Amino acid sequence: MVLRKSLFFAAVASLYSGGRAVDNGLAVTPQMGWDNWNSFGCAVSETLLLNTAQLIVDYGLKDLGYHYVILDDCWSAGRDASNNNSLIADPTKFPNGMKAVADAVHALGLGFGMYSSAGKYTCGGYAGSQGFETVDANTFASWGVDYLKYDNCYNQGQAGNQLISYTRQVVSDYSMMQANHARYATMANALNETGRPILYSLCNWGEDYPWNWGSTIANSWRITGDVYDSWDEPDARCPCDGPDAWNCGLPGFHCSVTNIMNKASFVVSKAQPGAWNDLDMLEVGNGAMSDAEYVAHFSLWAAVKSPLILGNDIRVITPADLALLSNPAVIAVNQDPSGSSAARKWLYATNGTDAYGGASIQLWSGNLKSTTGGDQNDVVVVLINGNNDTTVMNATLADIFVDNGPAGTAAQVKMSWEVRDLWANRMSDAEAQAIITASSAAGNATTGYNATRVGAGRYNATKTSYAEGLANNDPLLLGKVSTTVQPSGTIIATVDPHGAAMFRLRALPTGKKDEL
C-alpha cells in the first residue's frame, strides 16, 4: 500500500509539473501583437489578417515590438473524421488554408497566433479542443502557429476551484490516473510535445484564480472578464468592483477599464518573466473613449506588464491612435527586462462616495531595471485621474517608495530624482498622418499594402531590443526631463479628466543641484 501511494503521488507530481510553458523561452517580456476580436468578432478572413499584418509592418508597429497577428474565434469548419478528427479551416474564409496564412505572416517577420477553447465548443460555438488537445496541438504546429489563445467556454463544468480548472477532476486513486486528463495543463503538455515553440495564453477570465497556478503551465493568463471600450461605465454583466474584486465568482464581460484596473491591483505580484497577468486586449482606437482615457488605459497596461495586444481595426487607424500606440518610452516600461509590475500605492475617493464605486485618483509605481550604471533602479510612476475635471495631482517620494520603508523611512526618499515625462515626446498627429498616407497610397484592396518603411527618428526594436536600448540610455526610451524632485519631495502633475501622467524617475548623484 505504501508503494502504491508513492506511485500515486509521483504520478500526480508528474502531471502537475509537466508542460511548464513558463520554461518554453517565450514571453520573457510581455507579448505584443494584434487580435481581431474586439473590432471584428466572427467577421474574420484571410484577407483581413494579411492586410492587417502588412500594415503592422508599414506603420512601424512591428519594429516597435507588435509581433503576433492573432486569429481569434470563428475560423473553423469542424473536424475531419477521416483525418484523425483534425480541425478544418473554413474554406470560404481561408481559401488557401491556414498554413498559407501562417507562411505569409512569417514572410513579413511576424508571428502567427490562433484560438481555441478548453471546452467542447469555442465561445462562438465552433469545435473546441477539450478531449482533442494532442490532435489540435499537432495541427497547430503543422500549420506554423506561434501563439495559442486558449479560452474557457463550454467547459462542461470543469471549473469551480483551482484544482478542477487545472485538471479535469480531482484524482482520488492511482488506478484512475490514466482516465483523468488535465484541462489547461494537457494543452500545455501537448504544445510542448510538438517541439514547436508556441506561446500559450490562457483565457479563463480569472475564474479559479489562475494567477496562482497559471505560471506553472502558461505564458500569460487572463485575470478578468472581457474588456469593453468604456472607461468606467458600470455593467451588471461585469460584477465585482470593490475591496473583494479579486474574489469574483462570475468574471463576466463588458468590463470597463477601471473595473479591470481595480481587479489587477490585487494580483500584480503574481507576474514574472515568461508568465504574465493579462488584463485583456487594448481598446485604443475603437472609438468609444477619449484620447485621455486611451492614454490612461495604455499607460496602466504597460506599467503592470500586461501583454499589449492591439484590438482595433488598423486599416482605419487615426493619426492620434497610431501616435499613442507608437510611444516607445511607454512600451519600454512594459518591455523592461526586470519584469517587475507596478503596484497601486494609494486610491482616494474624490466625490464623497467610496473609492471603488465613484470617482477616484490613484498612484501606481514600481521598479524598472537600472539604466544609470549605478545600483539604484529607475522607477515608473503613473498618476490616474478618475475625475470628470482636470485635476492637479501629487505623489510624495514617501508614497512612491513605501514598499522600501514605511512613513518616509526608505533610503530612496532621501535622494534627489530626475523626473522624465513619458508622454512628452509623443509623435505628432501630422507625422502619424504622413505615415498612414504613405502606406495607403502605395496599395489597394487587391494588391495589398506596400508602403515605404517608416523613416528615421522612430525606435526600432527589431534592430535594437528594448533591453539594449535601455542599457544604452537611448533617449527615445527615456522620455523628456520635466523637473527634479528633491529629497522628501513631491511630484506634481496636471492630469486630464480620466487621464494619466506617466513618469520615469532616475536617481541623481548625491549633491547634484536642481538646474531647472
pLDDT tens digits for 283-317?
Answer: 999 999 999 999 999 999 999 999 999 999 999 99
Beta bridge partners of 391: 495
Report the distance separating Cα 116 and Cα 75, nearest Å: 10
Quick: pLDDT tens for 134-174: 999 999 999 999 999 999 999 988 887 776 676 644 344 43
Residue 353 neighbours by CB distance under 10 Å: 11
Is 58 assigned a catalytic role?
A: no
Report, at the CATH architecture level, how domain 344-426+464-507 is classified: Sandwich (2.60)
Is 232 assigned a catalytic role?
A: no
Q: Catalytic: which of 136, 208, 226, 321?
A: 226
Beta bridge partners of 418: 484, 506
Cell of 487: 529629497
Report the distance separating Cα 439 and Cα 227, nearest Å: 30
Strand ranges inside 321-426, DSSP E: 343-349, 360-367, 379-385, 391-396, 417-421
Cβ partners under 8 Å of residue 500, min gap 6: 292, 295, 296, 299, 300, 382, 383, 384, 385
The ranges assigned to domains in the chain are 2-338, 344-426+464-507
Report the distance separating Cα 29 and Cα 19, nearest Å: 20
Task: Choose between 449 and 112: higher pLDDT.
Answer: 112
Strand-by-strand arrangement of the 276-278 sheet: 276-278, 220-222, 199-202, 147-151, 111-117, 68-70, 32-35, 308-310
Mean pLDDT score, 465-485 = 96
Mean pLDDT score, 4-22 = 38
Q: Catalytic: which of 151, 208, 280, 421?
A: 151
Task: Choose between 174 and 280: higher pLDDT.
Answer: 280
Longest dimension (CA), the chain: 77
Give the confidence band of 348 by pLDDT, cuts at 50, 70, 90. Answer: very high
**Percent of the chain's residues with pLDDT above 90:** 79
Report the distance separating Cα 201 and Cα 229, nearest Å: 22
Mean pLDDT score, 234-255 = 91
User: What one-letter code names the amino acid at 491?
Assistant: I
pLDDT at 172: 42
pLDDT at 456: 56
Task: Choose between 338 and 510: higher pLDDT.
Answer: 338
72 in Cβ contact with 44 (< 8 Å): yes
User: 3.40.630.40, 3.20.20.70, 3.40.109.10, 3.40.50.720: which CATH number matches 2-338?
Assistant: 3.20.20.70
Predicted confidence (pLDDT) at residue 329 exceeds the cutoff of 50: yes
